[in-house]
Structure 1
């Protein structure tokens, strides 16, 4: 498991107002749970959030608001509409029995529904842990994404599509990740280099898995830096130069 129920995401460096946010039901081949946040001053860029293994729980509902504070209209998508319906993803939710049934093609289909809901403008995915691996994997999907971002992700979710990766990637890695070793990350970036995949990475030395949490005061600088890197990666000038 990644972020706890009491975890809360750190604030972006510049905080605007949130015009609206709340739960949402989207439809792909099934109805699935989502959470939507709208900035009062949109920057024209959109985010689809891919949660950790627990789905759209409190951390990610809050994170949609954080991205909206930074100017991004944002939708967090849940993985479990096909097997668990639209129920709450609280501590009682048995994600362990549902996770093995999540297929990458289904994630891509649900992300496409979120992209369509968000409408025009560059769309990026941002994922965490399991969701980071799924986010990076979407670089190979034909979804027209402007870029894919992942925190402390799982390279094993991407290995079979490395030769098809195309959308630019941002890898934000924990130096002391208990879920993935540094050797695994090095092997992953080596395979990206061999395939000529466009990516940027930063390793936060000593940081633990799930460091992007405002309750970890000692990782405040890492959180601030991660925000700066996301904002830089999604800048229109950077997107245009990579097109």
Structure 2
């Protein structure tokens, strides 16, 4: 019995060590444990750092990465997942910087709270995400564009927007808000309104702007996603067809929600590799 208790204690200590180590590395607590497939990108050949973006009287945190040199570099603005500005999003900035982009990801939850320290997804939604408005997000992204101009190293004539999960929805909506960006890529972001409670007004969703959209948006979605279903995608495609933006959606039949998130069990390398290629081709063609 003592031996069994000792073994259990050692296992708990190891789990606690891993938990604290990963948390210290910057991943959101709600996504633990981290999958072995998680990609870690170094800073060789690039510059990466935390910055502050002025938004009115506030300064919101952001993370940026770009190639070494004076530029100006094409811009990739990244809208984070529901898990906020955690290590995966920072790593994406470094990855895209190595591909030649000035990549920047603002903390779009800054006013409402730090979701990276919240362990349960329902709490993230109730305490933070539900209080973040589309108007706030668009305003913060506008401020990000202004900040990029102040750096003198960003090519404001070549701005692309991308986002993942919650940030995928934000990407569709920002593409409608700012017709000056060249293109956008939305990764498995919600498309249609969810169930509403009482007399609460439903917030604007991508399907609401699909017909009038001007910026070409590439949607990348998973066929096994039970949250954003194939039916939702078909509804969105039907409305997109009524417009003239040239937007399209690619559905990966064997991929689930979050298939590009290499730190999660839903990661699908085949779908991710193809989707990344589609994204880069989309940016190049626009």
TM-score higher than 0.5: yes
Distance 2:175 2:103 in 1: 19
1:78 equivalent in structure 2: 107
Deviation at 1:9, TM superposition (A): 6.3
Q: Secondary structure at the match of 1:206?
A: coil
Once the two structures are superposed, what CA deviation does each residue of 1:38-71 show, in whole Å capped at 9, x if it has no partner? 1237683111100111210111111111111111
1:111 pairs with 2:138: no
Once the two structures are superposed, what CA deviation does each residue of 1:170-216 show, in whole Å capped at 9, x if it has no partner? 11111111211100110011111022332132111110111113356
1:185 equivalent in structure 2: 233
1:50 to 76, 79, 82: 79
**Residues 31 and 227 (structure 1), Cα distance of their counterparts in 2 relative to 1, 3 Å cut:** same
Count matched residues. 232
Deviation at 1:115, TM superposition (A): 1.7
Q: Secondary structure at the match of 2:116?
A: coil
Taking structure 1 as the reference length, the TM-score comes to 0.84
Distance 1:50 1:9 in 2: 19
1:23 equivalent in structure 2: 50
The structure having more radius of gyration, on CA atoms, is 2
Consecutive unaligned residues of structure 1, counting only runs of 5 or more, are: none
Taking structure 2 as the reference length, the TM-score comes to 0.72
Consecutive unaligned residues of structure 2, counting only runs of 5 or more, are: 1-27, 150-154, 193-204
CA contact (8 A) 2:118 2:124 kept: no
Higher relative contact order (CA 8 A, sep 6+): 1
CA contact (8 A) 1:9 1:62 kept: no
2:258 to 194, 200, 210: 210
Query: 183-192 vs 143-152, which deviates more?
Result: 143-152
Distance 2:82 2:52 in 1: 19
**Residues 147 and 211 (structure 1), Cα distance of their counterparts in 2 relative to 1, 3 Å cut:** same
